[in-house]
Every structure is written in structure tokens, then in C-alpha cells.
């Protein structure tokens, strides 16, 4: 099998990293728990426009009116706090040790996504990294899956042999479906509400991998 993994909130805990930075920023500014809640809500799991998030930060705790500067600060804060989920790198090594190619397929700007990968030391545990900001195409556009498969040297593989695993229904599951791959959704305890369920649902990437690698999903 071939494995394509989202990065944020699939391999690394991006949301906790943002919340940790925001907590520090609110405390330093003398803000309140309501300010922190508003800032975290505005972030929308990383999917909100970054300048909109920066605007809420300035409204709630003051500081620099240069929204781009605020964006730069919270991006750096995420890099300072981000960590890989426990056990994920071991699971990637097991997959590769069994001869399964593994790639990261992530939306975002190059410096930020590469910075997370470097801080969390993910690169030695995968065979390729595809960042939307470097390719000019983002999930859920299936072309990004084709780029990843080409990088892995398996562009002609039966798409039923490919797993796209991630936490975002509208990006990760959607891109897998558009590209004809199997799909694994990292739920983090949420209930699936996106119509037809993915092939596998689990609360963590580790549990999705375990289910997807089971005999039930081997070559058909």
C-alpha cells in the first residue's frame, strides 16, 4: 500500500500549538479566558484566513496594528510549540519497513509547513513531502495527490492501493475521494457529518493506520 498523510492535526498537533501560543500572548497582554476562547475560535483549526485571525487578536488583546506582523508572530509561535503526536513516527517507520511508500501531503506555505516538519523531525520517517504552497495546487484538488504519487515513483499504481489519511473532511477526505484513493479520517472524537463515511474512521492517526492496514483492506 501507499500512504499519504496530512500534516496538521494528523501527524502533528497544530491546534494545541496555536492554543499554547495564544495562551501565552493573552497572559502577557493581561487578557482574559474569554479573549483566549475568542482567539482560538477565530483560528478555526487553522482554516480561517490568517489576517482575519490577526484582526481578532488585535481586537481582543491589542498590540501591533500591522496584521501581517501579527500573522508572522503567531506562525512563529506555532513553530515554537508544535509537537508530533505520540507514537506517530514509530508507525511511519513500521509502514516503510514493510515496504510501503509514505508521503506527507499538506496545504500551507512552504516555510511554515517545512518548519513544522523540521521541528518535529518528520522528514527521516517519510519518503516524500508535498506542500501546496510549493506546487501551486491545494487539497482538495486531486492533482496534489498525483504529484505525491509521482514523487514516490508510483504514479501508475491502482488508486485502491493508496490511502489518504487526514483530519479535515473538506480537504483530506475530499481529495482522496476526488483522486480515487481510499480514505482515512482522524476524528479527534468528532462525529462524521460529511455524508458517506470514509473507508476508516479513528480518533488518532495511529488508530486509522492500524485499521487501514488490517487484512480487510488489503489488495482486492
- CA 130, 186, 48: angle at the middle one, nearest 5? 65
Q: Are 105 and 135 in contact (CB under 8 A)?
A: no
Q: Are 85 and 101 in contact (CB under 8 A)?
A: no
Euclidean distance between CA atoms 2 and 96, whole angstroms: 9
Q: What is the pLDDT of residue 69?
A: 96
Q: What is the pLDDT of residue 214?
A: 83
Counting every residue written for the chain, the total comes to: 220
Q: pLDDT tens digits, the chain, 220 residues: what are they? A: 999 999 999 999 999 999 999 999 999 999 999 999 999 999 999 999 999 999 999 999 998 789 999 999 999 999 999 999 999 999 999 999 999 999 999 999 999 999 999 999 999 999 999 999 999 999 999 999 999 999 999 999 999 999 999 999 999 999 999 999 999 999 999 999 878 899 999 999 999 999 998 877 665 4
Q: What is the pLDDT of residue 218?
A: 61
In the sheet that 200-202 helps form, which strands lie side by side, from edge to edge?
Answer: 128-131, 102-106, 2-5, 162-166, 182-186, 200-202
Euclidean distance between CA atoms 16 and 82, whole angstroms: 7
pTM of the model: 0.94
Q: What is the pLDDT of residue 220?
A: 44
SS3 186: strand
Q: Where are the domains of the chain?
A: 2-13+83-217, 14-81
CATH architecture, domain 2-13+83-217: 3-Layer(aba) Sandwich (3.40)
Q: What is the pLDDT of residue 65?
A: 83
Percent helix, strand, coil in the chain (nearest 5)? 55, 15, 35
Euclidean distance between CA atoms 220 and 197, whole angstroms: 20
The dihedral built from the CA positions of residue 78, 79, 80 and 85, taken in this order, carries a sign that is positive
Q: Are strands 128-131 and 200-202 parallel, antiparallel or unpaired?
A: unpaired
The 3 state secondary structure assigned to 3-56 is EEECCECCCECHHHHHHHHHHHHHHHHCCCHHHHHHHHHHHHHHCCCHHHHHHH
Q: What is the pLDDT of residue 194?
A: 75
Amino acid at each position: 500500500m501507499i500512504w499519504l498523510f496530512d500534516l496538521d492535526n494528523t501527524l502533528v498537533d497544530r491546534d494545541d500549538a496555536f492554543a499554547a501560543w495564544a495562551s501565552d500572548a493573552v497572559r502577557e497582554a493581561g487578557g482574559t479566558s474569554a479573549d483566549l476562547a475568542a482567539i482560538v475560535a477565530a483560528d478555526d483549526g487553522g482554516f480561517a484566513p490568517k489576517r482575519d485571525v490577526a484582526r481578532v487578536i488585535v481586537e481582543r488583546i491589542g498590540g501591533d496594528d500591522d496584521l501581517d506582523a501579527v500573522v508572522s508572530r503567531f506562525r512563529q509561535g506555532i513553530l515554537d510549540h508544535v509537537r508530533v503526536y505520540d507514537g506517530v513516527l514509530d508507525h511511519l517507520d513500521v509502514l516503510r519497513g514493510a515496504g510501503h511508500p509514505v508521503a506527507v501531503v499538506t496545504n500551507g506555505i512552504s516555510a511554515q509547513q517545512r518548519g513544522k516538519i523540521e521541528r518535529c523531525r518528520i522528514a527521516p520517517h517519510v519518503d516524500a513531502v508535498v506542500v501546496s504552497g510549493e506546487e501551486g495546487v491545494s487539497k482538495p484538488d486531486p492533482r496534489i495527490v498525483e504529484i505525491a504519487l509521482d514523487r514516490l515513483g508510483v504514479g501508475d499504481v491502482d488508486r485502491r492501493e493508496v490511502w489518504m489519511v487526514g483530519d479535515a473532511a473538506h480537504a483530506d477526505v475530499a481529495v482522496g475521494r476526488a483522486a480515487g484513493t481510499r480514505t482515512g479520517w482522524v476524528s479527534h472524537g468528532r462525529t462524521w457529518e460529511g455524508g458517506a463515511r470514509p473507508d476508516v474512521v479513528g480518533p488518532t492517526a495511529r488508530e486509522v493506520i492500524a485499521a487501514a492496514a488490517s487484512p480487510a483492506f488489503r489488495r482486492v
